[in-house]
Structure 1
Amino acid sequence: MKIAITGATGLVGKRLVERLYPTHQLLILTRNEAKAQKTFPASAYPKLEIVTYLPTETGPWQGAISGCDGVINLAGAPIAEQRWTASYKQEILRSRQVGTDKLVEAIAKAQTKPKVLINASAIGYYGTSETATYIETSAMGSDFLAEVCQKWETAARQAEAHGTRTVILRFGIVLAKEGGALGKMLLAFNTFMGGPLGTGKQWVSWIHRDDLVALITTALAEDSWQGVYNATAPNPVTMGQLAQALGAVIKRPSWLPVPGFVLELLLSDGAKVVLEGQKVLPQRTEAAGFQFKFTNVGAALKDLLHP
C-alpha cells in the first residue's frame, strides 16, 4: 500500500513508520522537512518520500494524496506541553479541525482517492469523571477538550462523503519512555521525587505505544473497521496505581505526590490532562476482534523500561 502519514515525527508516528517501512510505500507530510530527514535519514529509509506542507492551508501538497491507498492523520499541536493561553487554545483546535479539513479537501480533489482515512482523536471527547465509565457510544463531555475532539472527528467524517472509509481512534494516555505522561513521571522518579500527579484518585486510561501502533495498522488493513474505536487498554488504573506500578518496575519510591497546584502553575488549563481523568473501556475495539498484547499496566511498564 501507499500510505500518507501526518504527525510522523511524533511519539506515535515515529514508531508507526518503523513498523510500516519498508513493507509499504510511505509518504510523510511534514511542516519541518529538516526534522523529518533527521528522524528518518535517507541511509535508513531510502524509499521514504517526504513532502513539506502547511497543514491548515490549501496548497500544492494536496496533490500528493492522489494515488495513496490510505491516509493516517496524527497531526495536532501538543496538548500538555505548555500553558493554555487563549491563542494556544485556538492553535490546539485549529491544528486539528482545520488541519483535518484540509486533508479531507485533498482527498476530495484526488483523482485516485484513498480507500481509508485513519484519524486520531482522544478520550478527552468524553470529558472527565472519577466515577463514570465510558465506551465508544457514550455522550461527549462539555469542556474544551471535548469540543476540540468533536470538531476534529466531524472534520474527519467528511471523508466518508468521498467514498473513503473513515476510522477514528480515540487515544488514551500513550505509554512510551521517550515522552508523554510516562516521560514526565520518569524525570521525577529518577530524582527520587516520584509519585502520583495530583490526588492519585483520577483514572488513567492508558495504552502501550506498540498496541496503539498495532491498532492503527489493523484499522488500516481491515475493511470492516469504520467509525469510532477507543484506543485504550481494557484495564484502566488510577494515577496512584500507575505511580505504584512504575515505582515497583524501576525500584524507586512512589509515595511523594506532585501537587496539582504545581502543574497548574506550569500548564494552566493544560494540567487538566493529568489532574482529571476518565475511565474508558475499548468495548467496540475488542468486539471487532482486536487483541491487546498489554492489558496489565505493570507488564506494559516492564516491557517499556526493561525490554
Structure 2
Amino acid sequence: MELSRIAVAGASGLIGGALARSLTADGHEVVRLVRREPRRPDEARWDPEGGYVDTARLAGCDAVVNLAGAPVGSRRWTEAYKARIRSSRVLGTTVLAEAVASLSDRPRVFVNGSAIGIYGETGDRPVDEDAPPAKGFLPELCVEWEGAAEPAREAGVRTVFTRTGLVVSREGGAWGRLFPLFQAGLGGRMGDGRQYWSYVSLHDEVAAIRHLIDTDGLSGPFNITAPRPLTNREITAAMGRVLRRPTLFTVPEPVLRTVLGELAGDVLGSQRVLPMRLLESGFTFAFPEIEEAIRAAK
C-alpha cells in the first residue's frame, strides 16, 4: 500500500484505535475524527448528532473508515440505551456518507462498520454473506446502519461493510472482560455452552480492514470472523488451556438473563458465521485458530 491519508471515526475505540496505530506505524497519515474540539494536528471535528463534519479535513483522504458507535456490550439494553446504540451508528454513518458524497475530490473507498448480528440466531447452521438479515433489534439495526452509507455508494465511492464478530483482545469488548475472569480461575461456559461464537483476533480484524481498503474492486459486506467458529464450550476449554486455569464454573442461562437482560441473547445466541468473501478475495488469517488468537492477545 502506498502511503495514504486516511480518516478514521471511532479511533478511540478498540478496533479503530488499533487500526489507527497500525496505519501510523506504517507511515500513513491518519486523520482522527473527534467529537470535542481538536487538540492535535491529526484530529478533525465532527458531530454526528448535529450533522456536522469538517469536510475540509476529509478532502484529499484516500479512504474514510467509520468504526464509531456506542458500545453494545457495556451495559443493559434499556430502551434509552438501545436508542443511543442506534443513533450513534446510523446518524454517524449518514453524516459521513453525505460528507464523502459532497466532496469534489472523493476518497477511493468508504469502509463502514457493521456486525455479524445482522444474521441473528443461526444455531449450528453456517452462514456467509449471502444469508438474509434476521429480525430483531441487532439485525434490523445492522440493516439500517449499512443502509445509511448509501449516499457514498450512490456518489460512486467504493463502499465496504465490515461485519465483525467477537474480537479476541485484552483491551476491550467481550474478551476484555473474559480474560480477567479466566485468569482468576473463575471462567467457565455460559449456558449450555453449545452456542457458536464467531471470533476473530484483533490483529486479523485490523489486517482485514486494511486489506479491504487496499484491494480495489472489493465492495459490499464482508464477514470478519475466523474461518472456523467454535462453540462456547470449546472456546472455554481453549481459554483454560492457554491461560492454564481451571474452567469449572458455569453461568446458568437464567442468571445471565437476569444480569444482562436483553443483552444475554447476544451471549447465549449461536452464530456460526463464515468469512467466505474475505477468503475468496485472497486474505490470509495470521491467527485462524482460537488458541493462536488467545495467545496473540495475552
Q: The TM-score by the shorter chain falls in which range?
A: over 0.9
AA paired with 1:158? P
Deviation at 1:108, TM superposition (A): 2.0
C-alpha separation in 1, matches of 2:60 and 2:15: 24
Counterpart in 2 of 1:45? none
C-alpha separation in 2, matches of 1:189 and 1:32: 37
Please, what TM-score do these two structures have when normalized by structure 1?
0.91
Counterpart in 1 of 2:117? 124
Q: Quick one: which of 290, 293, 297 aligns to 1:300?
A: 293
Q: 1:106 to 1:96 in 2, by over 3 A?
A: same
SS at match of 2:180: helix
**After the TM superposition, which residues 3-18 of structure 1 pair with which residues of structure 2 at under 5 Å, given as runs?**
3-18=6-21
AA paired with 1:265? T
Residue-by-residue CA offset, 1:48-79 (whole Å, 9 max, x unaligned): 51123212322252442222111000001111
Contact 1:82 1:266 in 2 (8 A): no
Identity of aligned residues (%): 38
SS at match of 2:50: coil
SS at match of 2:250: coil
Counterpart in 2 of 1:27? 31
**After the TM superposition, which residues 120-269 of structure 1 pair with which residues of structure 2 at under 5 Å, given as runs?**
120-269=113-262
AA paired with 2:232? M
Contact 1:6 1:30 in 2 (8 A): yes
Matched, 1:106 2:106: no
Runs of 4+ in 1 over 3 A off after TM superposition: none
Deviation at 1:255, TM superposition (A): 2.3
C-alpha separation in 2, matches of 1:198 and 1:157: 39
SS at match of 2:81: helix
SS at match of 1:71: strand
AA paired with 1:27? V
SS at match of 2:80: helix
C-alpha separation in 2, matches of 1:280 and 1:32: 37
AA paired with 1:146? P
| Gapped regions of structure 2 (runs ≥ 5) | none
SS at match of 2:249: coil
C-alpha separation in 2, matches of 1:259 and 1:33: 46
C-alpha separation in 1, matches of 2:46 and 2:278: 32
SS at match of 2:32: strand
AA paired with 1:18? R
How big is the alpha-carbon RMSD for the aligned residues of Structure 1 and Structure 2? 1.6
Please, what TM-score do these two structures have when normalized by structure 2?
0.94
Aligned positions, number: 294
SS at match of 1:14: helix
AA paired with 1:100? T
C-alpha separation in 2, matches of 1:63 and 1:266: 46
Deviation at 1:218, TM superposition (A): 0.8
Deviation at 1:90, TM superposition (A): 1.1
